[in-house]
Amino acid sequence: MSQIFHHSTNTIARVSIFGTVFGIAGGLWLMLELNRSSYVTDVGVAKEQPVPFSHAHHVGGMGVDCRYCHTAVETSAQAGIPPTKTCMNCHAQIWSQSPTLEPVRSSLRSGQSIEWVKVNDLPDFVYFNHSAHVNKGVACVTCHGRVDRMPLMWQHASLQMEWCLDCHRQPEKYVRPKAEVFNVAWEPPSDWVANGKGRELVKQYGIKPRTSCSTCHR
């Protein structure tokens, strides 16, 4: 009986058995990694904007308060994107001729809104409420990162559900004194965790983060 296969094929046959198992496992692992990668989440990807507005300059450089532009953040679900008028409050005087600001001026002239590209974009079936968070000692930077260091805005957190749940399940890790909510530079003191300051605040502010689905999905 003539040999069809070379002797080595036996080994290949054996290897293939394990190969398939590991292959599948590896594929799945890759999928999970991909799902959390910035390719999917866009974390850290700076977005082109019609006007290259720099938080680094306005917040970091000139120390403009978040609420000067995002007026609704304490009272509404949305933080609110400033109307063109707000920009012109200053830029009617400063840089009033700068070509980069032309879109702003023309917007005011024509009454056509500036179309900003959304950076932190939650799916439409997620109902996030800014006021509920900033009023309970969750800082802007906790979710949006150090905007004062972002020349162009990019997404800081994955905004994936596991990320939301992480804080909702153990808020003490993230809350800070209400006074510091809009302070981008505030860092918890070294002994913060050690003497359970977080827990105190959670008790003091009556923080009961809900994990019921209807908290965010309706």
Partner 1 sequence: MSADSKLAPGEMRVEFGGVRPRHERGRALWRSLDQLEQSPEFLEFLHREFPQNASEFTDPEGRREFLRVMSASLALAGLVACTKQPAELIVPYVRQPEQIVPGRPLFFASAVLDGGYAKGVLVESHEGRPTKIEGNPEHPASLGGSDAVTQAAILELYDPDRAQTVRSFGEIHSWAEFVAALQPVLEKQRARKGAGLRIVTEVVTSPTLRKQLEELLLELPEAKWVQWDATARNARAGATLAFGEAVETRWHLDAADVVVSLDADFLAAGPASVRQIRDFASRRKIDGEHAKLNRLYAIETTPGLAGVNAEHRLPVRPSELDGLVRALAAALGLPVAGGTSAHAAWIGPLAKDLQAHRGASLVMAGDSLSPAAHAIVHLINERLGNVGRTVSYSAPVAAAPIDAVAALTELVAEMSARKVEALFILGANPAYTAPADIAFADAMMLVPFRVHFSLYDDETSERCHWQLPEAHSLEAWSDALAFDGTATIVQPLIEPLYVGKSAHELLALLSSRPDRKGYDIVRDHWRSRLGADFEKAWRRALHDGLVAGTALPEKAVAVKVGDWTKAAVEPPASGIEVVFRPDPTVGDGRGGNNGWLQELPKPVSKLTWENAVYMSLATAKQLGVRTSSNYEGRTESAGEPTPQGTITDVVQLALGERKVSGPAWVLPGHPDGVVTVHLGYGRWRAGRVGNGAGFNAYALRSGASPHWEAGAQLVKTAFTTRVACTQDHWSMEGRHLVRSGSLDEFEHEPRFAQEMGEDPPKATTLYPPHPYEGHAWALTVDLNTCVGCNACVTACQSENNVPVVGKDQVARGREMHWIRVDRYFEGRPEQPDSIETWSQPVMCMQCENAPCEVVCPVTATVHSDEGLNDMIYNRCVGTRYCSNNCPYKVRRFNFYLYQDWTTPTFKMMRNPDVSVRSRGVMEKCTYCVQRISKVRIDAKNEGRPIKEGEIQTACQQACPAEAIVFGDQNDATSRVAKLKASPRNYGILTDLNTRPRTSYLAAVRNPNPEMPKASHG
Partner 2 sequence: MASPAPSHTRHEHDERFQTESDRLIAPGHDFASVTDSISKIVLQRRTPLGWWLGFAAAFGVMQLLLYAIAHLLFVGIGVWGVTIPIGWGFDIINFVWWIGIGHAGTLISAILLLLRQEWRTSINRFAEAMTLFAVACAGFYPIFHTGRPWVAFYWLMPYPNTMGLWPNFRSPLIWDVFAVTTYATVSAMFWFVGLIPDLATLRDRAQSKPWKIVYGMLAMGWRGSAKHWHNYETAYLLLAGLATPLVVSVHTVVSFDFATGIVPGWHATIFPPYFVAGAIYAGFAMVLTLSIPLRKFYGLEDFITMKHLENMAKVMLATGLIVAYGYMCEAFFAWYSGNPYEKYMIVNRMTGPYALSYWALILCNVIAPNLLWSKRLRTSVPFLFFISFVVSIGMWLERFVIIVTSLHRDFLPSSWGLYAGTQFDWAAFIGTIGMFLTLMFLFVRFLPAISIFEMRTLVPAAEMPEEEHQ
Name the residue among 190, 191, 77, 83 with its Cα closest to residue 134: 77
31-90 residues in contact with partner 2 (CB under 8 A) are: 32, 35-36
92-111 residues in contact with partner 1 (CB under 8 A) are: 107-108, 111
Interface region with partner 2, contact rule CB under 8 A, candidates 8-16, 109-117, 124-132, 181-189: 8-16
Q: What SS3 state is found at 155?
A: strand
- C-alpha dist (Å) from residue 88 to 12, 41, 53: 72, 33, 13
41-80 residues in contact with partner 1 (CB under 8 A) are: 47, 71-72, 74-78, 80
Query: Rule CB under 8 A: is residue 170 a binding residue for partner 1?
Result: no
Residues 6+ apart with CB under 8 A from 182: 65, 66, 67, 134, 139, 140
152-211 residues in contact with partner 2 (CB under 8 A) are: 158, 160-162, 165
Residues 6+ apart with CB under 8 A from 190: none
Q: What span, in angstroms and rounded, lies between the C-alpha atoms of 68 and 79? A: 11
Could you tell me if 158 and 165 are in contact, meaning their C-beta atoms sit under 8 angstroms apart? no
Binding site for partner 1 (CB under 8 A): 31, 34-35, 40, 47, 71-72, 74-78, 80-85, 107-108, 111-118, 121, 123-125, 127, 129, 131-132, 135-136, 208, 210, 212-215, 217-218
Binding site for partner 2 (CB under 8 A): 1, 4-5, 9-10, 13, 28, 32, 35-36, 158, 160-162, 165
